[in-house]
Amino acid sequence: GYSKCRAYIDPSLPVTKAGTDMAGNSLPYWPGYSDIPAECRATYLDWLAGGRTDASYNPGYMFLYFYGLERRFLVDRPSDDEKREILDEVLRLQKLYESSGSARRYLGSFIEIAKLDLNDKSLQEPIFENPGWEIPLSLKMTLGASVAAGETLSSDWVLSWLMCHPERNLRTPATRCPEEFKALFKLRFDEKFPGGLKVQTPKKILKESYRAASGEFHVDLSPALDGQPIPDISNLKKPVNIAQKIADQVTDELDKFSRFIGRKPDGRGSLEAQALLPADLRQLFPSAELENLKTWARSRAEAGGLTPVTDVIARLEGGESGKIGKRQLMDAADALARVGFGMAPDPRFSLRTPKADEPVVIFDLGTSVEKLEEVSSRFHEALIELAIGTFVAHADGHFAEAERLTLRNRILNTNGLDEQEQRRLFANLDWLVAVPPNMSLLRQKLKSASLEQQASIRAAVVAIAHADTVVQSEEVAEIEKIYKALGIDPKAAYNDLHAGRVLDGPVAMRGAEPGAPGEAIPPDHSSVISRLDPERIAAIRSDTKRVSSVLGDIFSTDETNDTNGDEPPALSSALAGLSVKHAGLVVEIIERQHWSEEEFLELSGRHELMPSGTLEALNEWAFERYDEALLDEYDGYDVSPNISAALKKEIEA
């Protein structure tokens, strides 16, 4: 015609003595031998003479060669033996230039057409990687033929359909963890479609057109099977939507494992990675380390459960961690739960997370658990009641076995809890016995309690106070704090303690039953309910008031002595209710959003204050004035932004 084939070598055209443009700086996007500069022609001939194996040459030279192979195969139509030789050569070139996206795409399209022409058996296998923008022709043919024959599609073919579909939406776990993704997709697909997926046969017939990479010709294709046209599945939506939903479910299940692999790319097969795998995959991706974790957890549970939190993190992460955060603890709890063991407290529900020098409790969950966060609302309520009960039991400095037994029985008798939730509450009880709760942490939970919850909490504290048969004055004082936090008159505590039950709460009544005629009314046994001495209660109440009065006088005197009449009026208004030492501490505290434990210790020392007492005093004051804690104890101390902003505004005014 009017132009020469791009691939043809014209010996009459000049070339330079040396081919030096290996980078292809003078090479156009669609090169043709007759059109490129003499320097590029020399470079191309050097590449051919060198065996076509040097991938450092620009891919354009490889394409110039490929244009000839493509034309020879599809236009000249040589023997099948030569076609196979050409196919093998193109496969070699694709691997040689695998880093080139254009090479993967254009050579891949040709390879598929060539294999179809030669009836290559490899086309009968699913495709899970597709560099092109359309479903590969071979996959269309295989799927279309199966659908036309009335066959159901297995998980591999449905996943292949999704992976090659232009509208697929695959999140990170699918690409970061491809083997785990494929294995779990198969499991979830087989659960939903144990006999395979039945697809309705489309009316549209499959027709394709191959456009040469050189742009010089195209070939129209009408694939057939046993002389019959093949249906075109390209526009079917339902099977792809089904596959997408399963893929979404699978990526959700792999999310935690994927995040771990993202943080530690070389961590696959490690103890933590294995524990984060969905349970269904552990047998398919076994790990000796996981069995070692299970053995260790069982030994700790059988030894009583109490284990330093640093030991747990070291066991899972393979080394000691100076600072333990909430995310580490949640990952540890998840990892243990996947081998059938629990860790208390769980950061999702606890009043606070354990500090680095405190223990946690390892216990047997009875079964593997995938989602620890899925618990009943009654579990949340029971956990708060448990914390309050242990708070009261700790008040006299001695946690009696009778008190522990009372709290365990309360867990057993709480409606709405399943067996696993009971196990978790028992473990939390063990932890609360070892690590007493703080009133400032309880107060936030108490203020939002419903009337029904209030009655349940009151019943719990009264029961625990009576558990060891002696109600100590320290217990009475702490119960008063609880009633006050609930918004109930603290005086009601004495009435409840005296009666041995909540007097104004919901009362369970036995249904009325008709008695026999003339039956005598039984005597009143209400006096048996309470074994407390009314005079003793009155004495305790009097002692408590007297101690409060004395302490009040002492603190009042201290405050007066501290101020020496020099306290600024604006500061008095903004920080009313605090001593000068505490007020000075607050002024410094609100300048930052977070203080480490070491910084808070040093800051308290400078103001001649004890850290533990100071924390409770400041939070008590903050609750009275702002209805929330000033300092939230987590990995140090977080300062309430609301209180900080309000105080700064008042002090500035």
Question: Above 80 in pLDDT, residue 535?
Answer: no
In one letter, which amino acid is 345?
A: P
Q: What average pLDDT score do residues 306-319 get? A: 85
Is the pTM higher than 0.75? The answer reads no
Q: What average pLDDT score do residues 403-408 get? A: 86
Please report the pLDDT score of residue 445 as a whole number: 63
Q: Does 560 or 110 have the greater pLDDT score?
A: 110
Please report the pLDDT score of residue 423 as a whole number: 93
Please report the pLDDT score of residue 390 as a whole number: 82
3-state secondary structure 66-130: HHHHHHHHHHHCCCHHHHHHHHHHHHHHHHHCCCCHHHHHHHHHHHHHHHHHCCCHHHHCCCCCC
Q: Does 514 or 356 have the greater pLDDT score?
A: 356
231/235 Cα distance (integer angstroms): 11
Question: Above 50 in pLDDT, residue 579?
Answer: yes
Q: What's 515's DSSP letter? A: P
Q: What average pLDDT score do residues 518-546 get? A: 52
The mean pLDDT of the chain is: 82
Please state whether beta strands 637-639 and 594-595 pair in parallel, antiparallel, or not at all (unpaired).
Answer: antiparallel
- Of the candidate ranges 288-292, 359-363, 410-414, 528-532, the one whose mean pLDDT is the lowest: 528-532
460/612 Cα distance (integer angstroms): 27
| Percent of the chain surpassing pLDDT 90 | 33
154/192 Cα distance (integer angstroms): 12
Q: What average pLDDT score do residues 19-39 get? A: 93
Q: Which residue has the tokens 């709890």?
A: 333
| Percent of the chain surpassing pLDDT 70 | 80
Please report the pLDDT score of residue 516 as a whole number: 54
Q: What is the SS3 assignment for 460? A: helix
Please report the pLDDT score of residue 362 as a whole number: 96
Please report the pLDDT score of residue 477 as a whole number: 72
Q: Does 200 or 571 have the greater pLDDT score?
A: 200
* 214's tokens: 């050189």
Please report the pLDDT score of residue 332 as a whole number: 87
Q: What average pLDDT score do residues 299-321 get? A: 86
Q: Does 389 or 196 have the greater pLDDT score?
A: 196
Q: What average pLDDT score do residues 417-430 get? A: 92
47/333 Cα distance (integer angstroms): 60
Q: Please give the CATH number for the structural domain made up of 569-652.
A: 1.10.10
Q: What average pLDDT score do residues 542-564 get? A: 42
- Of the candidate ranges 15-24, 46-55, 232-241, 316-325, the one whose mean pLDDT is the lowest: 316-325
Q: What average pLDDT score do residues 556-573 get? A: 45
Question: Above 80 in pLDDT, residue 561?
Answer: no
Topology of domain 377-499 in CATH is: TerB-like (1.10.3680)
Please report the pLDDT score of residue 393 as a whole number: 77
Q: Where are the domains of the chain?
A: 254-364, 377-499, 533-560, 569-652
Confidence band of 33 (pLDDT split at 50, 70, 90): very high
Q: What average pLDDT score do residues 608-622 get? A: 80
